[in-house]
Chain A
Amino acid sequence: MMDRKKILEEGLLEKYILDELSAAESQQLSSIIANDEGLKKQFEALEEDFEKMAFENAIAPPGHIKIRLQKRLGESKVIPMPKSWRYAAASLTILFVLSAFWMFNRWQNSKNDFEILQEQTISLQERLNALEEDYLLTNRRLKTINGPKTIPLILDGNNLAPNSRAVAYVNHDRRIVMVNAQGLPELPDHSTYQMWSDVDGEMIDMGLLPTDEELITLKYIDKAESLNITIEPAGGNDHPTVEKLIAYVTL
């Protein structure tokens, strides 16, 4: 049976501090101490003395032990940053955000510029294509009317259309007729110029002559003796209105 007297006589307090007692003895002793103020004071004084002695005999461990301990407990990942680093980190973050924003704007502007440039390129390409087509057409026409086998014929207007002139280019080998009707006076919307070939006294339709085109290709009629221009209702006529013949030329 453990009591105050036994505790003091057998030095159980120091054994308790030195962890020499069994678990059951320790349990018993600690509950006795808790209920005995005098014993508790003595125990506390003993603890104090042992601690003082230990501190008087302390040996500083090498610094790397603490670092090893921190690593062991996974502290290395969360070493707190010094305050100045935090400010630096914050500044860098702001700088990064600003530069990212600036870069984004630059990128957007570049994208817009690129799109405009792309549109311009497409439009230039279209214009080039149109010019090329135009050139090829003009070149083809020039070859047609400028060949040695092409006969240019002038159709001067009579008293119905004074001071007017149309030019026809006829190539019998290639069986082509082309007319420039730009020299004829403009007509109201309800009427149009039409050209006819005279074959053995019969007038055969060659096609309409709009005045707004440079060169009109018409039907080539075999054995035509003359070319004739009349004014007809819009859309053309099956038979020429001879009263409105304004020009002719013999072949």
Chain B
Amino acid sequence: MSHHQDDIEIIDRLSQKDKKALYLLYDKYSGALYGVILRMCRNQVLAEDLLQETFVKIWQKIDTYDASKGKFYTWAYRIAKNVTLNSLRKPDLLIQNEELRVDTTKTILEPEPDFTELNGAISRLEPHHQEAISLVYFRGYTHREAYEEMGVPLGTFKSFIRQALQLLRESYKHELLIIWLLLETF
């Protein structure tokens, strides 16, 4: 958990208003958070603004982060999700951004990249498992909204989530085992 320990030191510096600490966290986590934000809002211009906004909030609210209650990434993910969902609830802003984007940057020859595509362990799951996780984690749906979206009963949806998470767990354990074996071998 030295990885986690590094974060604690950086976060400590961040709560003392060290901007360099924020940029270190940005370098480490901006990709993961941008992946979430972009899949949630599906608008590159807006996602860029929201990523910046997320880190401004991290800078402002770092004092409310409690390392004993969870990992920094979990906390930052919640901020990113909130920032994005709040922005999507303001339709005016979104429409403006859409118009701006269509007018200035996109042409018919350049199709929108498919941000919904998933990589890694989740991409190897069954489609319904993939979709269930994707909806709650990458699309910002609540469980209640997600099961309606999928058109399955809530109980079924919950079991999809549980199964998917178990499969992910096994997949990552397996990866860890391989890494451990490789380390042992060399």
Contacts and interface: CB of A to CB of B under 8 A. Distances in A.
Instruction: Report if A and B associate in a common complex.
Output: yes
Interface of A: 10-11, 14-15, 17-20, 30, 33-34, 43-62, 65-66, 68-70, 72-73, 75
Contact of B32 (A10, A33, A58, A69): A58
B56 interface: yes
A85 B165 CA distance: 52
A49 B35 contact: no
B162 A54 contact: no
A43 B69 CA distance: 10
B7 to A, nearest CB: 11
B74 A11 contact: no
B122 interface: yes
Interface stretch (B76-84, B97-105, B178-186): B76-84
Contacts, number: 118
Contact of B74 (A10, A51, A59): A51
Interface residues of B, number: 49
13 contacts: A10-B158, A14-B136, A17-B70, A17-B77, A45-B169, A49-B168, A50-B77, A51-B73, A52-B168, A54-B35, A59-B34, A60-B30, A61-B34
A60 B170 CA distance: 27
A48 B171 CA distance: 12
Nearest to A44: B71
A171 to B, nearest CB: 104
Given A11-B161, A72-B56, A73-B59, A66 B26 contact: yes
Nearest to A18: B136
A52 B172 CA distance: 8
B74 A47 contact: yes
B161 A14 contact: yes
A43 B68 CA distance: 12
A30 B74 CA distance: 14
A5 to B, nearest CB: 14
B126 to A, nearest CB: 16
Contacts of B69: 30, 33-34
